Amino acid sequence: MKKLINVPNAVVDEMIEGYVAAYPKYVKVLPENKRSVVSVETARAGKVGVVIGGGSGHEPAFMGLIGRGFADGVPVGNVFASPPPDPILEVTRAVNGGAGVVYIYGNYAGDCMNFDMAAELAEMEDIQVQTVLVTDDAASAPLSQADRRRGIAGGFLVFKTAGAAADQGYTLDEVVLAARKANANLRTMGVALSPCAVPQTGKPSFVLGEDEMEIGLGIHGEPGIERGTLKTADEVTDALLERILEDMPITAGERVVVLVNGLGSTPHMELFVVYRRVAKRLKDLGVSIHRSFVGEYVTSLEMGGCSVSVMKLDDELIRLIDHPTDTPMYVQQ
């Protein structure tokens, strides 16, 4: 393992310190808790507060998405671990503008437990909280058990939808409905080519042979659904897209957003090769790509590989996806 770190157990706090120092026009750390990162605008009166979060190691998610039109605050957990209730509650207080707060995070047991605890504490202080779970990982459970699916890279699109809705003046109930619509119309499939190593352990999260790949592996190294010999980019992309289309059929004339997400060490060259194939396949089906995102949005430290996300759109989701945003890691005019 080769990493530019100091003390492994200090890496998250030092990352936050460096991030806030780099982007003081966007973010600040709350004095009550060094793991509570919020927008410098804090609460806007009458606006629904949007809180996203989870473990570290997925940068630029989640801190990189704090800003106008996106998230208002992020409680930061340890590497691949949920933030505890305390920083979640501090962020909730800071972003509450009187219209309630929505929590949006991936469907993992630790996150569900800690965010639920924070929501209960916030409601004791008369802060209304509602939750949206991201469940876009089509490989993690069958469609009949969709509520058990994990949240992975497609969460970026759910976060963006909710942030835009809140910025446009939606009520708390309306923000939640829009975010849940985005999640319901979203599927992601990923492929891993090489593991990552958590700083505290210094060991690979899993082992793959030099000529192996694994489809459906989770962003924390959770087992996938198929392991085999590495194939060409087109063959791998077809395998990912076919599973998405089997799970969520898309017909000619429909509009979609496509996200090709790098997991940490995959060059943009390869991501664009994958996107090229996705675009061709969807064009052949008569499906229109309204907007595309190619790059690193939700990573897994230095894991090799990528994921493909497809979200079906209606007029409302198009308006929200197109809404301008201004964050340190993603700007859309």
Catalytic residue among 58, 268, 290, 323: 58
Distance CA 52, CA 205 (A): 25
- Single out the residue of 86, 87, 333, 55 nearest to residue 200, CA to CA: 55
Structure tokens at 286: 């008569």
For the question of residue 323 being annotated catalytic, the response is no
Using alpha carbons only, how large is the chain's radius of gyration in Å? 19
Count CB neighbours of 219 within 10 A: 32
For the beta carbon of residue 269, count every other beta carbon within 10 angstroms. 7
Of the candidates 220, 268, 290, 323, the residue annotated as catalytic is 220
- How close are the terminal C-alpha atoms of the chain, in Å? 39
Other C-beta atoms within 10 Å of 263: how many?
27
Query: How far apart are the C-alpha atoms of 185 and 127, rounded to whole Å?
Result: 29
Helices and strands per DSSP (H, E), number in the chain? 8, 15
Output the CA torsion sign for 262, 267, 272, 278: negative
86: three-class secondary structure by DSSP: helix
Give the single-character DSSP code of 331: E
Q: Is the dihedral of CA 235, 240, 246, 249 positive or negative?
A: negative
Interatomic CA distance for residues 298 and 301, integer angstroms: 9
Name which of 238, 234, 263, 246 is nearest 139 in CA terms: 246
- Up-side HSE of residue 177: CA atoms within 13 Å toward CB? 6
Q: Is 220 a catalytic residue?
A: yes
Any idea which residues carry the catalytic annotation?
A: 58, 220
